Amino acid sequence: MFKKITQTGLLILLFSCAFLVKAESQGYETLSSPQPTQNPAKIEVIEFFWYGCPHCYAFEPVLEKWVKNLPANVEFIRIPAAFNEVWSKHAKAYYTAEALGVVDKVHADFFDAIQNKKEKLDTEAELATFFVAHSVTESQFHEAYNSFAVDAKMRQAPLMASRYGITGVPAIIINGKYRTNGTLAGSHEKMIEVMDKLIKQESAKK
């Protein structure tokens, strides 16, 4: 009896190890419910992030380098996660920057202000000061911050993470079908490798 149980246990252990190796080498998960993309003609890559996340901050330089060399058939989209009140305030700051067309000007500096300068930037007054320092007038900021467009995106924000099964950041969704993150891929650099692999795979299907 003891010998039989040991052999069975060994087989289970070997099977489990083989499964784990396969999962780790794959570096991504397939979504149980694929989501429609904004532009079916392109391969969509979405990043979920939070300005207060040190892992997102560490991933940003690696991701930014990748974004600068995007293939013509790839569309990159950032989505700020809004899991709680603080995250939501930073998400609103991002959507305000998007509405003003200044994401490229403020994105890196906003990360720096939160991560290194330890600024909160979670009130309208604090954000107004930050945006004014980035060539946005105070009236332009307040108008965008309180606009219907930003409000609509904030109403959708809590639903976005659940659509893609996001429980932590940074997380990447490739073409509405696959999800990867640092835990699945093993590192930020490996995440990029997984993204490139899946983009190539999806491009071949088109």
Structural domain contains residue 175: yes
Provide the residue range defining the domain that includes 87: 29-205
pLDDT one digit per residue (tens) for the chain, 206 residues: 333 434 444 333 333 333 333 444 589 999 999 999 999 999 999 999 999 999 999 999 999 999 999 999 999 999 999 999 999 999 999 999 999 999 999 999 999 999 999 999 999 999 999 999 999 999 999 999 999 999 999 999 889 999 999 999 999 999 999 999 999 999 999 999 999 999 999 999 87
Written as six digits, the tokens of 205 are 């299907």
Structural domain contains residue 160: yes
Integer Cα distance of 34 and 163 in angstroms: 9
Domain count, the chain: 1
Structural domain contains residue 113: yes
Structural domain contains residue 168: yes
Integer Cα distance of 2 and 14 in angstroms: 18
Integer Cα distance of 159 and 35 in angstroms: 13
Residue 101, phi-psi category: left (phi > 0), alpha (psi -120 to 50), beta (remainder) = left
Structural domain contains residue 2: no
**Tell me, what CATH number does 116's domain have?**
3.40.30.10
Structural domain contains residue 46: yes
Written as six digits, the tokens of 17 are 């190890």
